[in-house]
């Protein structure tokens, strides 16, 4: 992606669950087809998040007329969210450890034990914390630099990402920025 395009998006430092799988050049087309199939299944929480937003809009319209019913629906949604997030984390191909990353709507930077070459394709499974929304993305390595600790700092641009998943990342980044600003304000008071 062009530098000008990258600057249109906020980038934050965050901790996520992350799985990185290399895609061999001769397997790129097959990997993309598999990703398209897999993304339908693996984006369960992303879809649930979208449905929750739709439900909340409808509940807002009737909340003043039927407050008790709305409260029951809210509680049921919270129970369902807890179960679905727990299942999603178990089913994802990521480890339990949180990894520090730089994340934006168009790319990701992370440290990895293995060197990658510019142009390499990677299948990234990102589970955002604390929502546990799992995203499956195919990215292309833009840069790989050896760090002082012996790992490699890898910068990836997303090549294949669902529009809704990109929106989830944007929402996540904005929420994290808001939390950071709130924390700064509170520490200054």
Q: Which DSSP string corresponds to 102-132? A: EE-SSEEEEEESS---TT-EEEEEEEETTT-
Of residues 47 and 175, the one with the higher pLDDT is 175
pLDDT tens digits, 67-82: 999 889 888 888 887 7
CA dist 78 and 76 (Å) reads 5
Query: Which segments within the chain are labelled E, that is strand?
Result: 12-23, 99-103, 107-112, 121-128, 134-146, 152-160
35: which 2 tokens?
Answer: 């990703």
**pTM metric for this prediction:** 0.72
pLDDT tens digits, 122-174: 999 898 888 778 888 999 999 999 999 999 999 999 999 988 889 889 999 99
CA dist 187 and 143 (Å) reads 36
pLDDT tens digits, 93-125: 556 688 999 999 999 999 999 999 999 999 998
99: which 2 tokens?
Answer: 């990894």
Those residues whose C-beta lies under 8 Å from the C-beta of residue 53, and which sit 6 or more positions away, are: none
Helix 163-188 to helix 44-62 angle (10° resolution) is 70
Domains and CATH numbers, the chain: 3-43+93-188 (2.40.10.220)
Those residues whose C-beta lies under 8 Å from the C-beta of residue 158, and which sit 6 or more positions away, are: 106, 107, 108, 137, 138, 139, 166
CA dist 162 and 25 (Å) reads 22
Summary mean pLDDT of the chain: 84
């Amino acid at each position: 992606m062009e530098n000008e395009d990258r600057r249109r998006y906020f980038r934050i430092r965050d901790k996520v669950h992350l799985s990185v799988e290399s895609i061999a050049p001769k397997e790129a087309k097959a990997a993309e087809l598999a990703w398209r199939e897999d993304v339908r299944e693996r984006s369960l929480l992303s879809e649930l998040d979208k449905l929750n937003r739709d439900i909340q809009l409808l509940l807002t319209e009737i909340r003043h007329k039927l407050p008790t019913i709305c409260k029951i629906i809210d509680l049921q949604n919270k129970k369902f969210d807890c179960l679905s997030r727990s299942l999603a984390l178990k089913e994802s191909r990521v480890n339990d450890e949180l990894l520090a990353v730089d994340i934006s709507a168009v790319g990701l930077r992370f440290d990895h034990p293995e060197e990658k070459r510019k142009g390499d394709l990677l299948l990234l499974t990102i589970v955002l914390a604390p929502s546990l929304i799992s995203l499956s993305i195919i990215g292309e390595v833009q840069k790989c630099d050896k760090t002082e600790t012996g790992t490699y700092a890898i910068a990836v641009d997303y090549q294949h990402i669902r529009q809704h998943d990109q929106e989830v990342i944007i929402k996540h980044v904005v929420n994290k920025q808001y939390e950071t600003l709130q924390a700064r304000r509170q520490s200054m008071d």
